[in-house]
Amino acid sequence: MANLVTSLCCVVVAAVVVAYAQRRSQLVGRNQYEPMYTEVVLRCGSLDSNASVSWKVNGTDVRAQHRQLGPKLILTQVTLSHNGLYSCFQNPNGERRDTILLHVGIRPREPSVTCRSNTYPKGFYCSWHQLYPTYIPTSYEVDVVHNQKSLEVQKDAVHKNRCHVRFPEVFSSSPYKVNVTAINALGRASTLYSFEESNIVKPDPPERVTATPIRFNARRLEVTWQSPATWPDVDNFPLKYFLRYRPLIRDTWQHVELSDSTAHTITDAIAGKEYIIQVAAKDTEIGTWSDWSVAVHATPWIEDPSPITSTTDGDFPTETKTSPIPSSNAPQKAEPPVGRAARLLTFFSPLLLGMLLLLM
């Protein structure tokens, strides 16, 4: 008995749900996807071909170029401007018989696919995108095969068009085949991307790059950095580094390649010039160089011509660093005489005051 009641209850609930869904689709409309620049036929429900209906879009008369054939509305050369909610009403009583949400779009093309391992030897990721917009929802299927075996593909938590794959083995020379299929209501298209492990290794740039002047040395800068945090095993898969630096006033870089070291001292800096410094990383055996790190700026140590000022203001030295350096080779700006006199006065005034007090 109880069973009968629960089943009945379920039937009632199901009926209500179905009725609601039907009502909702009448109000919201069923989706119809059509390719751009084509002729589109909207059919008013399943009415007979001799039925007479009126069409409305977004609640108003259809103003775009169209023809009507019984219950059918025919739109020519549809573009995005034809998108909308189309409703048809049977004449003569004006009862609504159908509601269609028209989406004009484009079928997907072969997606552009790239894969990269910044976590070698753990795994790699692939990302993809459409070169042209499709205007309608497009989803992707990704298959990765290695040695005839399908590999597990994990969606990225943040990037929509990205997935992660673990290397099933390291030092494998057989290719990985990544098949990305773009799918939407108007069609599908696949790209097959094939590569070897060694071709996609590219670390992230080095991190926490710092450059500091060395006291009493006008031509040196001490540069330090850390290996990228994403590189999982820097001990067994060491990185080498590439340093580039130039004074802001010059266009050409100087380069240094370093194996397995995370510090370097520039010894040939031009005295008094602000430098820009970047570092890149690469696996010592395979793959390509990372992108350049964040750029850091530093000026070699400058013998302070007026140490007086730095005694009154601890932050002053950083100000001299950022001040634009004149293009002449004069390492220091000549100070205006008034400013110097004023500074001398401020420095000596406590002394003068003290002397006055002593005299009194």
Ligand X SMILES: *[C@@H]1O[C@H](CO)[C@@H](O)[C@H](O)[C@H]1NC(C)=O
Interface residues toward ligand X, by CB under 6 A: 48, 50-51, 57-58, 82-84, 141, 143, 179, 181, 190, 192
Q: Which residue has the tokens 């036929």?
A: 41
* Cα separation, 173 vs 38, whole angstroms: 48
CB of 86 to ligand X, least distance (A): 9
CB of 110 to ligand X, least distance (A): 11
Using CB positions, name the residue nearest to ligand X: 84
Q: Could you count the other beta carbons within 10 Å of the beta carbon of residue 276? A: 16
CB of 225 to ligand X, least distance (A): 42
* Contact between 178 and 200 (Cβ < 8 Å): no
* Residue among 97 and 343 whose Cβ is closer to ligand X: 97
* Residue among 83 and 117 whose Cβ is closer to ligand X: 83
CB of 188 to ligand X, least distance (A): 7
* Residue among 187 and 232 whose Cβ is closer to ligand X: 187
> Buried (b) or exposed (e) across 324-352, using 16+ Cβ within 10 A?
ebeeeeeeeeeeeeeeeeeeeeeeeeeee
* Residue among 95 and 141 whose Cβ is closer to ligand X: 141
Phi, psi of 285 (to 5 degrees): -105, -50
Rounded (to 5) percent helix, strand, coil in the chain: 20, 40, 40
CB of 6 to ligand X, least distance (A): 42
Helix (H) or strand (E) holding 7: helix 2-28
* Residue among 103 and 246 whose Cβ is closer to ligand X: 103
